[in-house]
Structure 1
Amino acid sequence: MADADTGKAKKRDWRKLAVALGNRKTAFMLLFGFAAGLPYALLLGTLYAWLSDAEVDLETMGVFSLIGLAYAFKFLWSPLLDRIDLPALKRLGKRKQWIVTAQLLLGVILLVLSTLDPLTSLGWFSLLAGIGAFASATQDVVVDAWRVDVADEKATIDILSTVYQMGYRIAALVGGALALFLAERTSWPTVYATMGAIMAVVGIAGLFAPDAEQTTAKLGADAEDLAALRRPGEIVPGVRKWALLIIGALWAWALVSVGVFMVRSLGSDPDTRPDSVEFISTQGPLVVIATVVLPAIIAAWLVFQKRQGNHLLTSDEPASGAFDRAIDHGYRALILPLTDFVGRLGWAVVIVIGLVLTYRITDAIWGSFAYPFYLGELEYTKDEVAVASKFFGVGALMVGLAVGGTLLTVIGRMATLTFGALIAALTNLLYADLAVGGVRMAAVSDAIGFSWLVSHLGGDARLAKLMLTIAGENIAVGIAGAAFVAYLSSIVAKGYSAVQYALLSSLTLLVGTLGRGALGQMIEERGYYDVFILTTLIGLFAVGLCLVEWWRISRQGRRSGMDETALANA
């Protein structure tokens, strides 16, 4: 009888997966994932190949990498995207109006870039690249919010998260390897004009995407939401005002500091450019404290005061003027997402933040040192690395994403999240073996016949062990990535999805950025082997946090901080 029930449950899981994959929302999620990944690949990867061909100096190219800060600090303007409507585009929906605008703007920017010479028009080139990074990061914020908002019983958050990652990785291949292939046979202006046209077509197609019913319904409820802040049982306006002013000042300082740094860094005079390493090592932690740590403490204090019955209104207190209404708007946009998050999670917010900080930190840090390891330490050729990493590796990553999406549906989110963390940590040991000669990886490759296959396709046993290592890591990263995006999407509230998801995802990027200097120093002093052992241990710490979070969710159920759809798949 138990076997029959298990068989029926498995059939329901597979049927659920098939329905989700055939949903219209899933198709648009794939498209939006592609649209998110393409400009990132073109502006923070392929662009350097164009600059190299144009003989732009290395110092200037290093400055271009700083436009990536737009992605790390995208949460700073996310509250505006949650509450501000674009003129004449409001009817598209709260999310779609920003998604379509960002995609069309990116299409125009790529087309204009294709008309410029990066050597003679470097100022305009850097300005457009910076605006493009800002538009791309903005698109990421709203697409992430759209994914959370439109998820339902058919197009589940797990499947949407997996499909988004697939679209993103396909775009990385198109904007990376395919762009290089086309540039070799045509020209860089042709490549960027083609990619710009693709982004414009995606933007037009986005007009027909569904928007979240809940988000659209909220358009007519703004006045009611604001009025609710001034009813009995809510925090008194005076306390709310000071909380908003303090957190607003902290976020404004961070936004201005990062903005000034980027503008100065992209200037035409090298002598006036600030030291990026110094900024990241000194200002980076301060930005994290100002925008995450202190606001979280203030939000926790507000939640505590409300639960204790302190500083609460005892009667209606309507807004008396424009200033009061402005304070209410700001509080709703910036503070309520934080108090909602802290209020739902309670003490577990420490576990969640710890999990966010450690789950993908090794990937975020390691990416900067992958090519020095392959090309410098192991002395592979560029062609070998391209075959192993860009082609075979991307295929393995797609396999991992597909497996991750299936596991999310069949065994549940937290089981997949924990399994992904475990294998992602252990695959660091594969690289540790390569760092000391790769004897074990070579033996495995020989034993399963992979060395024989690669040798018959034009490679050798040495290339085979690199391909096998990268494949193992990428499959693990695909499974872990699908589970992690689904987990983050499940713990944010639909009403505040843009701010909450942007904060969590940016926190992952920020910590990875801050840790690169220390990891680089460790590589210089102790070598790659010790670094891979360290990243394995960090990954195992994330496994422990996954187990704690899994226990918390299982024990607390609806009080865990997840929405109902998320709980059904946990």
Structure 2
Amino acid sequence: MTATSNPLPEAEPQTIPASKLYTSRRVAPLLALGFASGLPLALTGGTLQAWATIEQVSLQEIGFLTLVGTAYTLKFLWAPLIDRYVPPFLGRRRGWMLVMQLLLALGIMAMGLMSPGQSLLPLALLAVAVAFCSATQDIAFDAYRSDVLRKEERGAGAALSVLGYRLAMLTSGGLALILADQWLGWGHTYILMGALMLVVALATLWAPEPELPAQTPRSLSRAVFEPFKEFFGRPEAITVLLLIVLYKLGDAFAGALSTTFLLRAAGYTATEVGTVNKLLGLTATIVGALTGGALMAKLGLYRSLMLFGLLQALSNLGFWVISVGPHSVWLMAAGVGLENLCGGMGTAAFVALLMGLCNREFSATQFALLSALSAVGRTYLAGPFTPPLVEFAGWPSFFLMTVAIALPGLLLLRWRRRDIERIDAAGV
């Protein structure tokens, strides 16, 4: 498939009411499953570090706790096992999800029986095990979502997953800190979070099997090597991989030091920034993802990626306005809200693209690899290069530059339009 191949007429997307789209038997369970996916992350990360800080654990030891989450970045290494082996119950994906959710519930509750001040090493090792189970659940969940959704449901499925994940982060992050400090104490809070994981695991029992179950790889060797061979055998493979890196790159640069900008350069207080970033920003992201998911069913994948990508790029101008405009909380809220709204729409389309790229036989491995690649721009480009760009150009010019940084991804998307339309039509 090349850019010079005969043009394909773009398939007309099915127009489905948003209410019906989000209540579909295939889509609705993804809210709870997304919640289950997001719940353990803070409990082995920021919340655990807060607990250790309260119990006067040394700063050096708390620093080592940041290594607990390494499993999330390495999960592609054992993803082929999830493709190859099938539990004897609940099917190829849900079986793995349920096993991991039960282990997570037990592991999180067991963490509540320990104390970082008295048994830091055993607690840290248990947290590593919890993070491993959580990353494995993510592998199975991402594959299940790719397998079960019809193409017109991918945007809505991505949006509900994002909503569930963000709500879980609020629950195991902010709410857990409040419960631990004001009501239950740290141990009982972790036990409560483990019990909550048991409750949301019921969604795995409710969720349906894919309409067309994919074949399981015949051997572990095939499960390891065939996902790469199959993907890179596609003529559009390299440009699609580049698109994955570039599509949200402007958004990543704009957000890399946004909190530092609002506090240090724009002069807002920590309370103002926290309230707007956490509450308004989260709400806007969720609204954007849900809106984007509904619009995708009408627009199709290519049009959604292009429209949401343009909005995503232009929304960075909100930070530029904050940098040159008067000091106003309302102005700051409008800029942050707009950027998060458009970013949420872009995320829904982007996750739908990743799902569409996965071959169902190898969806666990391919999605794990593609999602790891999608973090390259944020981790290895935006993170290191944002500070020198800001020092060189100043904040106003930097935010204008982020709009320009978003353009190569959109130009690449336009160039490979036929490939994206073919992916959408075929459901790869």
TM bin, normalised by shorter chain, reads 0.7 to 0.9
Matched-pair contact (CA < 8 Å) for 1:71–1:506: no
Q: Report the Cα distance in structure 2 between the residues aligned to 1:371 and 1:481, rounded to whole angstroms.
A: 20
Give the aligned partner of residue 59 of structure 2.
58
TM-score by length of 2: 0.88
- Residue 564 (1) aligns with residue 409 (2): no
Give the aligned partner of residue 3 of structure 2.
none
Q: Report the Cα distance in structure 1 between the residues aligned to 2:85 and 2:308, rounded to whole angstroms.
A: 37
- Going from structure 1 to structure 2, the CA distance change for 1:527 and 1:113 (only over 3 Å counts) comes to farther
Give the aligned partner of residue 165 of structure 1.
162
Alignment of 1:101-250 (within 5 A): 101-152=99-150, 156-186=153-183, 187-215=185-213, 218=215, 226=218
- Residue 518 (1) aligns with residue 424 (2): no
Alpha-carbon distance, 1:518 to partner = 3.2
Corresponding residue to 2:310 among 419, 422, 430: 422
| Structure 1 counterpart SS, 2:206 | coil
Give the aligned partner of residue 382 of structure 1.
270
Matched-pair contact (CA < 8 Å) for 1:364–1:509: no
- Going from structure 1 to structure 2, the CA distance change for 1:496 and 1:463 (only over 3 Å counts) comes to same
Amino acid at match of 1:478: G
- Residue 96 (1) aligns with residue 98 (2): no
Matched-pair contact (CA < 8 Å) for 1:493–1:563: no
- Residue 26 (1) aligns with residue 27 (2): yes
Give the aligned partner of residue 498 of structure 1.
364
Matched-pair contact (CA < 8 Å) for 2:52–2:116: yes
- Residue 13 (1) aligns with residue 11 (2): no
| Structure 1 counterpart SS, 2:190 | helix
- Residue 489 (1) aligns with residue 377 (2): no
Matched-pair contact (CA < 8 Å) for 1:158–1:405: yes
Alpha-carbon distance, 1:178 to partner = 2.3
Residues 40-91 of structure 1 deviation map (CA, whole Å, 9 limit, x = unaligned) = 2333333333233233333333333333432222212111110123xxx422
Q: Report the Cα distance in structure 2 between the residues aligned to 1:32 and 1:23, rounded to whole angstroms.
A: 15
Alpha-carbon distance, 1:510 to partner = 3.7
TM-align CA RMSD = 2.6
Matched-pair contact (CA < 8 Å) for 1:162–1:482: yes
Alpha-carbon distance, 1:512 to partner = 2.3
Which has the larger helix fraction?
1
Runs of 4+ in 1 over 6 A off after TM superposition: none
- Going from structure 1 to structure 2, the CA distance change for 1:142 and 1:376 (only over 3 Å counts) comes to same
- Residue 338 (1) aligns with residue 225 (2): no
Give the aligned partner of residue 463 of structure 1.
329
Give the aligned partner of residue 480 of structure 1.
346
Residues 396-440 of structure 1 deviation map (CA, whole Å, 9 limit, x = unaligned) = 111101210121012222111112211222222222333x3433x
Give the aligned partner of residue 320 of structure 2.
432
Number of equivalent positions = 415
- Residue 401 (1) aligns with residue 289 (2): yes
TM-score by length of 1: 0.67
Matched-pair contact (CA < 8 Å) for 1:72–1:510: no
Gaps of 5+ in 1: 1-8, 227-328, 443-461
Q: Report the Cα distance in structure 1 between the residues aligned to 2:68 and 2:248, rounded to whole angstroms.
A: 21
Q: Report the Cα distance in structure 2 between the residues aligned to 1:367 and 1:130, rounded to whole angstroms.
A: 29
Alpha-carbon distance, 1:143 to partner = 0.6
Alpha-carbon distance, 1:357 to partner = 0.7
Larger displacement relative to structure 2 (332-341 or 479-488): 332-341
Larger RCO (CA under 8 A, 6+ residues apart): 2
Matched-pair contact (CA < 8 Å) for 1:356–1:508: yes
Residues 500-556 of structure 1 deviation map (CA, whole Å, 9 limit, x = unaligned) = 1111101112442223233344445654445433332221221112212324444xx
